[in-house]
Amino acid sequence: MVNQERIISEFIELVKVDSETRYEQEISELLKAKFTELGLSIEEDDAQAKTGHGANNLFAFLEGTGEAGAPTILFTSHMDTVAPGNGIKPQIDSDGYIRSDGTTILGSDDKAGLAAMLESIRVLKENHIPHGPIQFVITVGEESGLLGARNMDASKLKASFGYAIDSNGSIGDMAVAAPTQAKIIMKLHGKSAHAGVNPEDGISAIQVASKAISRMPLGRIDKETTANIGSFEGGGATNVVCDFVKLVAEARSIVQEKLDRQVEAMRKALESAAEEFGARAEFESQLIYPAYVHDDNSPVVELAKSAAAAIGLTPRTFHSGGGSDANIFNGLGVPTVNLAVGYEHIHTTKEQIKVVDLVKITEFVIEIIKQAAKG
């Protein structure tokens, strides 16, 4: 039922539209036109004003055609890409992969999800497939730390449960759990002095920070928890004892209590080192997005597994180490699982996706819709 030539053509059209995160205005207008042409109603929120990005989040709604009482199901993808994502020149290679010319990303993250949505709607209409109400939510700023979803107008959500089309892995894989993340800013204030004349009168913020980091549990803490120092900023001339350092870090865990313990351990390491050397410490931690966990028997997972098996896929559930818009939807009370799209080497100029996977993910979405309509 999926028209392979058509979905390839539409995918290529989408990736050719520049939409690096913060600059989503052009792709937003194109998507609004496409969904409207397909007969869906479109709403927007005010995410643009809240985030400074180029567009708002889009909410497209397809009325149900099946029996009354079918649940409203959600599908979500994001419209922005990482850089370098301008001037993408997609090409279909002889091995069945679609790639860029190697100077940019491809943008299959997540325009493959968008293409699957649009082709699914066409297939439903052309084949008169009964379905329940469907809401498609297209976010801005996913690549900027889920900024669009985090600033979404939740009152516009109508779905009982849903699926993000935005995970790594083979078609049929689904992320049923993903961690919460804390963004951590640490600052150390030492005391400057001449490094050659009277270094003993100074307090090196670099030395204190190094001691603090050595005391922090970092990397893989356990199977559900990680932590990392992303940047270490401070210092200047070698003849001055450095009096200020800023550390930017993160901690993640699927279990909130474990995240709390990890953040507290990093705080204590910073403060103990500062006290030891007579420096002053500042510690700030902000929860960026919530965790979610679905067991394999939960309805949203069972439906996806059943749909995958029905079209010959091998369903596989896994716990992701990264966050996605699915975290936000779960946090807003819409049980959501993240479906693998099949893209490879995302966020690099080697990004690629198989033509057959564009077809497979669309077939998967259609089968989920069909089975959801049966209740």
Strand 280-289 to strand 134-139: parallel, antiparallel, or no bridges (unpaired)? unpaired
Distances (CA, A) of 154 to 47, 150, 291: 11, 10, 18
3-state secondary structure of 292: strand
80 belongs to the catalytic site: yes
Are β-strands 225-234 and 219-222 bridged in parallel, bridged antiparallel, or unpaired?
antiparallel
What residues are paired with 257 via a beta bridge?
A: none
Active-site residue, from 110, 142, 357, 363:
142
Catalytic residue, chosen from 10, 24, 80, 224, is: 80
Amino acid identity, residue 30?
L
**Nearest-10 crossing angle of helices 108-126, 355-373:** 50
Quote the Cα angle for 102-6-9, to 5°.
25
Residue with tokens 């279990």: 255
Radius of gyration of the chain (CA): 24
- As a residue count, the chain comes to 375
The label of the residue with tokens 């819709």 reads: 369
Say whether 29 is catalytic.
Answer: no
Query: Active-site residues: which are they?
Result: 80, 142
